[in-house]
A and B are shown apart, each in its own frame.
Chain A
Amino acid sequence: MSGVRVLVGTRKGAFVLTSDGKREKWDVSGPHFPGWEIYHLKGSPADQDRLYASQCSGWFGQVIQRSVDGGATWEPVGNEFSYRGEPGTHQWYDGTPHPWEFARVWHLEPSLDDPDTVYAGVEDAGLFRSTDGGRHWQELPGLREHKSGPSWQPGAGGMCLHTIILDPSRPGRIFAAISAAGAFRSDDAGETWRPVNRGLRSEGIPDSDAEVGHCVHNLAMHPSRPSVLYMQKHWDVMRSDDAGESWREVSGDLPTDFGFPIDVHAHEPETVYVVPITSDSYHFPPEGRLRVYRSRTGGDEWEPLTKGLPQEHCYVNVLRDAMAVDSLDSCGIYFGTTGGQVYASADAGDNWEPIVRDLPAVLSVEVQTLSGTGH
């Protein structure tokens, strides 16, 4: 017996959506932590019942929640995120130096093989790790202390470390992405880092192909080919075939190459999904038509996927962590919108159905493919 568990973080709580392998009927649980912003939830690849959630509030700050029973119950764990040493400054929006200040956890990335180890990407940009199930957090300061750090500037949503990818074939290799600094890679388990942004061009910075300063929105990797990376940048969809050493644009025939999430089919490393958004000024789909675009050629050639998605009067956005894929034989694709809909396709994007329509604005969507022993 197999099934899926979709973990949805919203502006006003978390929701857990479960179904069997057919993905036709859904059980909706939530809101968990009602009234709090849930930036991200994610399950451990090593233990499907171990989940972590980032819960925060402008009033009460950051809380980390952990579940050991697949989201049925939760317990708050450690929430002290202190930068190591004297954190120094980065640039503020107006170009003046601004002290590094912790605001919130944007992304939680559990270890591939240890349920008690989890990474946290935070605003202001930094990478933390817990090795005791979230009770205590230690910064891996090599990223923040990169020589370019004092020049980093926040993107519109804050200076956030929003993407963490662990390379399954090469222990110790970690990719991270920061708005608006760019993509970075470590080959020594997070001790040292270097920018991997060669080939990116951004019009909004003084030197359009600078080493850092690019507003990378999201990265994706297929685990069977970890040297191939896909990137949704502020503008431009990019691809690297050499683990980030160089990038080339694969926006091809997309109607617009602005957007936030990007993901890869679970079984087809050359099949990629994006959600084109009109522009940085208009954070909604072109022509009010919500279309996922799929490339089966690793980019450049894209097809719109529209069956079951609203094709008129649709002005929602899909945020960077709000798309995910399951690994059932017929790959499922999921995404959530700022209008509170979570859409699912059980056939790789050909047909879509809303699982729920009226949640608070969706901040993140993750999916777990469950074996029969889970809760």
Chain B
Amino acid sequence: MIRVALPAHLRSLARVHGEVTLDVAGQVTQCSVLDALEARYPMLRGTIRDQRTRKRRAFIRFFACEQDLSHEQPDAPLPEAVVAGAEPYLIVGAMAGG
């Protein structure tokens, strides 16, 4: 079970409270987690990454286990602690004012 923490605006859009938990089939990567997230919550499509290119939106960051994974390859395996559900995968709106 993968734990995903969304920023407040996306929790409102998806109408969820707290963390989201997802079953991810196969290898657990940023791409497979986001695929599972968007399949469960289609209203999030386009808000985290481009719908066609799947490129991360500029002001979105991905953190886990106190690391910034934003610039890692989307198909790289996520840390074991995330795979095991011990640590959440954090989707974060970049600090940019507003």
Asked if A61 is at the interface of the complex by the 8 Å CB criterion, the answer is: yes
Interface of A: prevailing SS: loop
> Which B residues between 40 and 98 are near A, CB-CB below 8 angstroms?
43, 45-48, 51-52, 57, 59-60, 93-94, 96, 98
Interface size on A, residues (CB 8 A): 15
Asked if A76 is at the interface of the complex by the 8 Å CB criterion, the answer is: yes
Option from A58, A63, A80, A82 in Cβ contact (under 8 Å) with B13: A63
Q: A59-B93, A61-B57 are in contact. Are A36 and B9 (CB under 8 A)?
A: yes
Q: Are B45 and A58 within 8 A (Cβ)?
A: no
Q: Are A57 and B9 within 8 A (Cβ)?
A: yes
> Which B residues between 1 and 26 are near A, CB-CB below 8 angstroms?
7-10, 12-13
Residues of A within 8 A of B45 (CB): 79-80
Q: Are B47 and A60 within 8 A (Cβ)?
A: yes
Give the complex CA separation of A33 and B96 in angstroms.
20
Give the complex CA separation of A76 and B98 in angstroms.
23
Interface string of A23-34 (1 = CB under 8 A from B): 000000000011
Give the complex CA separation of A111 and B52 in angstroms.
28
Residues of A within 8 A of B10 (CB): 60
Interface of B: prevailing SS: loop
Give the complex CA separation of A82 and B57 in angstroms.
16
Q: A58-B59, A58-B98 are in contact. Are A80 and B51 (CB under 8 A)?
A: yes
Option from A33, A34, A76 in Cβ contact (under 8 Å) with B43: A76
Residues of B within 8 A of A149 (CB): none
Q: Are B47 and A63 within 8 A (Cβ)?
A: yes
Option from A35, A58, A59, A62 in Cβ contact (under 8 Å) with B46: A62
CB distance from A343 to the nearest CB of B (A): 27
- Chain B's interface size range is 20 to 34
Q: Are B57 and A60 within 8 A (Cβ)?
A: yes
Q: Are A59 and B43 within 8 A (Cβ)?
A: no
Option from B9, B12, B52 in Cβ contact (under 8 Å) with A59: B9
Chain A residue, CB-CB nearest to B43: A76
CB distance from B97 to the nearest CB of A (A): 9
Give the complex CA separation of A360 and B59 in angstroms.
23
Residues of B within 8 A of A82 (CB): 51-52
Q: Are B51 and A35 within 8 A (Cβ)?
A: no
CB distance from B86 to the nearest CB of A (A): 28
CB distance from B7 to the nearest CB of A (A): 8
CB distance from B93 to the nearest CB of A (A): 4
Give the most central of B7, B8, B13, B48: most A CB within 10 Å.
B13
B→A interface (CB under 8 Å): 7-10, 12-13, 43, 45-48, 51-52, 57, 59-60, 93-94, 96, 98
Besides the known contacts A33-B12, A80-B45, 17 further A-B residue pairs in the complex with CB atoms under 8 A apart: A35-B9, A57-B9, A59-B9, A59-B57, A59-B59, A59-B60, A59-B94, A59-B96, A60-B9, A60-B10, A60-B13, A61-B47, A63-B46, A63-B47, A76-B13, A79-B46, A80-B46
14 contacts between A and B (CB under 8 A): A33-B12, A34-B12, A35-B8, A36-B9, A59-B9, A59-B59, A59-B60, A60-B13, A61-B47, A63-B13, A63-B43, A80-B46, A80-B51, A82-B52
